[in-house]
Amino acid sequence: MTGNLQLLADTLARAKQENRAALITGMTAGFPTVNEGIAAIRAMLNSGADILEVGLPHSDPLLDGPVIQAADDIALRGGVRIADVIRTVREAYQATGKPVVVMSYWNPIDRYGVDRFCDELAAAGGAGCILPDLPVQESAPWRESAARHSLATIFVAAPSTTDERLRELTAAGSGFIYASSLMGVTGTRDSVNAAASSLVQRIRATTGLPVCVGIGISNAAHAAQVAGFADGVIVASALVKAVLGASDAAAGVATVAELTGQLSLATRRELELMPPVGA
């Protein structure tokens, strides 16, 4: 079985041709339950999301803020397993045909078995994996297995990442480069860090891969700002927060669908050229 690395590349290229940034939305697998999480994910993909990021719950998510931590805790207490993450990928892909990547810390994959994980992710229709804590220097076993399965290896760059380190990340990565808009953990913010734009420029000086920006993008205004300089806009915490605050599962799905629609419209750069209504 082969993964959907080409589908991921084609999706990002199509967004560029349409003069917009791709919208990548994220949701923790198994949250609030496996089935309810899948329902929320389908709502996102049917409301304008181009690419899905499925979070693999972890007991010690050091790079994530309180929103993702809460979702991980709920999923883990509910008994979620990697098999449920793979099922989430499969159902999302089969329902929409859109590329799906997994966001995971390295330890769960390493313990599960790299080849086993890659084989199951590819068989489910997955397109790759975002690995925020895997050092490039230690990534060869993953990259070799991912390449055999046509899966993207997506590294995360931060504003503090040196130029030398950026060259290493971009040379080893595939699919796209995940640019963190700020230093610190994931979560919603009041504004987009000014360092994000300069980081994207620095990354582009080292690679032709698309550069997608995440962490701290909380609303449509943030998405529109990032879409002005990045190839993709990544939103996860704001969507997870919407589910956390919902009165029930149905309300969570409706809220997620509405927010995704707003974010999708915000990534369309051509809207900036349209005159105001009534002008």
- Residue 85 located in a structural domain: yes
pLDDT in tens, the chain (279 residues): 478 999 999 999 999 999 999 999 999 999 999 999 999 999 999 999 999 999 999 988 777 788 999 999 999 999 999 999 999 999 999 999 999 999 999 999 999 999 999 999 999 999 999 999 999 999 999 999 999 999 999 999 999 999 999 999 999 999 999 999 754 444 444 445 578 899 999 999 999 999 999 988 889 999 999 999 999 999 999 999 999 999 999 999 999 999 999 999 999 976 544 444 343
- Residue 131 located in a structural domain: yes
Q: Provide the pLDDT for residue 2.
A: 73
The structure tokens 């891969």 sit at 209
Whichever domain contains 263, its CATH number is 3.20.20.70
Percentage of residues in the chain having pLDDT higher than 90: 84
Q: Provide the pLDDT for residue 60.
A: 81
Indicate which residues carry an active-site annotation.
53, 64
Q: Provide the pLDDT for residue 216.
A: 82
- Residue 278 located in a structural domain: no
Which 3 state secondary structure label does DSSP give 273? Answer: helix
Which tens digits make up the pLDDT trace of 222-267? 999 999 999 999 999 999 999 999 999 999 999 999 999 999 999 9
When the pLDDT of each residue in the chain is averaged and rounded to a whole number, the result is 91
Whole-number Cα distances in Å, 238 to 3, 93, 149, 215: 28, 22, 32, 10
Q: Provide the pLDDT for residue 10.
A: 98
Q: Provide the pLDDT for residue 62.
A: 75
Q: Provide the pLDDT for residue 45.
A: 98
Which tens digits make up the pLDDT trace of 190-231? 445 578 899 999 999 999 999 999 988 889 999 999 999 999
- Residue 279 located in a structural domain: no
Any idea what DSSP says for residue 276? P
Distant-in-sequence, close-in-space partners of 202: CB < 8 Å, separation ≥ 6? 163, 166
Contact 126, 3 (CB under 8 A): yes
How many C-alpha atoms does 146 have within 13 Å on its Cβ side? Answer: 23
Percentage of residues in the chain having pLDDT higher than 70: 91
- Residue 217 located in a structural domain: yes
**Structural domain boundaries, residue 112:** 5-273
Q: Provide the pLDDT for residue 193.
A: 55
Contact 220, 268 (CB under 8 A): no
- Residue 117 located in a structural domain: yes
Q: Provide the pLDDT for residue 182.
A: 57
Query: Taking phi first (over 0 means left), then psi (-120 to 50 degrees means alpha), and beta for anything else, what does residue 162 get?
Result: beta
- Total number of domains constituting the chain: 1
Structural element, H or E, at residue 224: helix 220-227
- Residue 87 located in a structural domain: yes
Any idea what DSSP says for residue 275? P
Q: Provide the pLDDT for residue 192.
A: 58
- Residue 251 located in a structural domain: yes
